[in-house]
């Protein structure tokens, strides 16, 4: 493996010793919904952005202004693709909607607050907090299922966009799973990674490994009373 590399914001990285270039991956969690504010588990229920969530998404415009974004991918759930649309407003870059980037399916828990889900299925809820990679809510997915679904779409981005910057607008569970993937962590560590609404994480993905440049940056929301509801990763996984 070659030594550490650096990337300059807004510009293509220098090639490594083999002449290869990284993909600069900008990962954004969708803006806030009313269900987020209420603490309800969304999963794959197609909940729209609240007015506050739309403002959070628009706050990404100046944050991303220096990024030369070549392609935009988003979950086909409206809270994600709408976030992408607003974040790149004014750019001539289409948003590609792809169901691979959907949130983890929470099955029978969708629409419940976490306390209701835990009271309904206490053993599953307890086990899932410890082992989300291999524990699914009733009728839902394990986190390992989500990563299996996302990985081909992610690898396609790597093969198509060497030397380019790509924006992915997706969901909290996906963001955490990607964090584990890029850092080489077991998926059971996923809920230890925070993922706030409209939070931005940046990865330079080289052929010989990724470099995490930033995680869950929400600085663009400060000063405008737009900071997201607290996100522990344990009780607000959607």
Edge-to-edge strand list for the sheet holding 95-97 = 95-97, 69-74, 165-170, 23-29, 200-206, 209-217
DSSP conformation class of 218? -
Tell me if residue 18 is catalytic.
no
Q: Catalytic one among 11, 14, 18, 30?
A: 30
Q: Is 84 helix (H, G, I), strand (E, B) or coil?
A: helix
d(CA 175, CA 183): 12
Tell me if residue 30 is catalytic.
yes
Q: Is 148 helix (H, G, I), strand (E, B) or coil?
A: helix
Helices (H), the chain: 34-38, 51-58, 60-63, 78-87, 114-120, 122-130, 143-160, 172-183
Q: Which residues pair with 28 in a beta bridge?
A: 169, 200
Q: Catalytic one among 67, 103, 110, 141?
A: 103
d(CA 82, CA 178): 21
Would you say 182 and 154 are in contact if contact means Cβ atoms under 8 Å apart? no
> Phi, psi (5° rounding) for residue 55?
-65, -40
39, two tokens: 């603490």
Q: Active-site residues: which are they?
A: 30, 103
């Amino acid at each position: 493996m070659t030594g550490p590399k650096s990337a300059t914001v807004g510009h293509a990285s220098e090639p490594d010793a083999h002449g290869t270039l990284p993909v600069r991956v900008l990962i954004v969690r969708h803006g806030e919904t009313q269900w987020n504010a209420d603490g309800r588990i969304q999963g794959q229920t197609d909940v729209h952005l609240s007015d506050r969530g739309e403002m959070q998404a628009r706050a990404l415009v100046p944050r991303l202004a220096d990024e030369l974004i070549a392609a935009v991918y988003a979950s086909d759930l409206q809270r994600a693709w709408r976030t992408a649309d607003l974040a790149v407003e004014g750019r001539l870059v289409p948003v590609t909607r792809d169901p691979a980037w959907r949130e983890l399916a929470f099955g029978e828990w969708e629409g419940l607050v976490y306390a209701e889900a835990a009271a309904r299925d206490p053993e599953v809820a307890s086990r899932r907090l410890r082992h989300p990679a291999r524990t699914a809510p009733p009728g839902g997915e394990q986190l390992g299922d989500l990563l299996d679904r996302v990985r081909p779409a992610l690898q396609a981005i790597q093969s198509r966009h060497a030397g380019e910057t790509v924006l992915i607008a997706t969901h909290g569970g996906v963001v955490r799973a990607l964090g584990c993937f890029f850092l080489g962590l077991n998926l059971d560590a996923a809920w230890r990674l925070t993922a706030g609404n409209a939070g931005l994480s940046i990865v330079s993905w080289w052929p010989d490994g990724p470099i995490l440049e930033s995680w869950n940056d929400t600085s663009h929301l400060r000063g405008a009373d737009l900071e997201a509801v607290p996100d522990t990763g344990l009780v607000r996984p959607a």
